[in-house]
Amino acid sequence: MVPYTHKLPALEVIQSKIFSLDELIKPLIVWRFKGQKTVFTNGCFDILHRGHIDYLAKASDLGDQLIVGINSDASVKRLGKASSRPLQDELTRAMIIASLHFVNAVIIFDEDTPLDLITFVKPNILVKGADYNVLEINPESRKYIVGSDIVRANGGEVKTLEYLEGFSTTSIEQKIINSQI
C-alpha cells in the first residue's frame, strides 16, 4: 500500500515563504532550536536574472536556512535608482524570490537599510556582493555592510560573494530600452 502524501499547491508553498516580522519569529525559533545556520542577504531583486540565481544559490550553500530581505517599493525609490525602478512591485518580487527552492524565507522591509531586520533575525551569516568589503567599519562608506557589527557581536560571520560578470538588472533594462530604438 502506498502511503498517503498530501502535496500543497505550488502557489501556496511559495506564499508560505513570505513572512511579516511577527510571522518570522516562529521559524527563527525552530531553526535556532535545531542548531541550523541562518544566512541573510537582501536586495531589490527587481528583475530576477542569472546573476541573482548564482548569488542566492551560493548564499544558500553557506548555511541551512536562507532568509532574503526585499526592499519595499518605497525603499527602492529612496535608494536613488533610476526613476523607473522598481519595475515590479514588492509582492511580485517577493513571490519570485520565494519561488526559488533554496530560499526558505522572504521578508519585505520598508526602511532604507535592512539594519532593523538584521538586528531582529540575528543571522549566523550575513552575505553581500563583492562590491562590499567585510573589513570596512565606516558606516558612511559605500563598501560598508550594514548590520555587520551586529552579526559579529552575536558570534556570526560576514561574507561577500563575487557577482557573475555581465548580469545586472540595469544592463537588462538598458538592453530593453536600446532594442526599442
pLDDT tens per residue, range 5-44: 668 889 999 999 999 999 999 999 999 999 999 999 999 9
Tell me which residue range forms the domain holding 23: 10-179
Q: What is the pTM of this model?
A: 0.90
Contact 106, 68 (CB under 8 A): yes
CA-to-CA distance for 119 and 154, rounded, in angstroms?
Answer: 10
Q: Is residue 2 part of a domain?
A: no
Q: 49-53, 56-60, 103-107, 173-177: which has the minimum mean pLDDT? A: 173-177
Q: Is residue 139 part of a domain?
A: yes
Q: What band does 4 get if pLDDT is binned at 50, 70 and 90?
A: low
142-173 pLDDT, tens per residue?
999 999 999 999 999 999 999 877 777 767 77
Contact 58, 160 (CB under 8 A): no
Whichever domain contains 78, its CATH number is 3.40.50.620
Q: What band does 87 get if pLDDT is binned at 50, 70 and 90?
A: confident
